[in-house]
Homo-oligomer: A and B are copies of this chain.
Amino acid sequence: MTKILVIHGPNLQLLGRREPSIYGRATLPQINRELTRLARKLKVALTFLQSNHEGELVEAIGRSGKVYRGILINPAAYTHTSVAIRDALEAVGLPVVEVHLSNIYAREAFRHTSVIAPVARGQISGFGTESYTLGLTALVGLLKKSR
């Protein structure tokens, strides 16, 4: 069964409490449950990882190449600053879909630039929890095509 790594970046453990007008009221466990339901339909298996540590994310991505077929990532704040995560994603060479809860292009200027985007296949931003489910759908779609 196709395995997909789902990565939640820094501060996402706070979801539901953190500025709900921007990030919505769903918590991370709720998002993960919703993704699991969808995964069952799409016949893929998900592993979840939330970390606030750039290094942990880098290592998890580095190890992912042998186990997973694709990565769904919300890099959160590291979207704008982490060349290390970008390099890790480029190194493992798996298809990557980048998602954002909020529309990063309608926020502060420093959030308009993603250092991750050039190494991702595609990006989805602005749909709250649904950014994740759309992203998983998109990723599974990419995997089917490349088979």
Residues in B neighbouring A77, C-beta threshold 8 A: 82-84, 86-87
Give the docked Cα–Cα distance between A121 and B76 (Å): 18
Copies of this subunit: 12
Q: Known contacts A10-B84, A62-B52; is A126 also within 8 Å of B134 by CB?
A: no
Interchain CB contact under 8 A, A123 and B122: no
Interface status of A34 (Cβ within 8 A of chain B):
no
Give the docked Cα–Cα distance between A120 and B78 (Å): 20
- The proximity string for A residues 110-136 relative to B, scoring 1 for CB distances below 8 Å and 0 otherwise, is 101111011111111111001100100
Interface status of A105 (Cβ within 8 A of chain B):
yes
Residues in B neighbouring A118, C-beta threshold 8 A: 103, 105-106
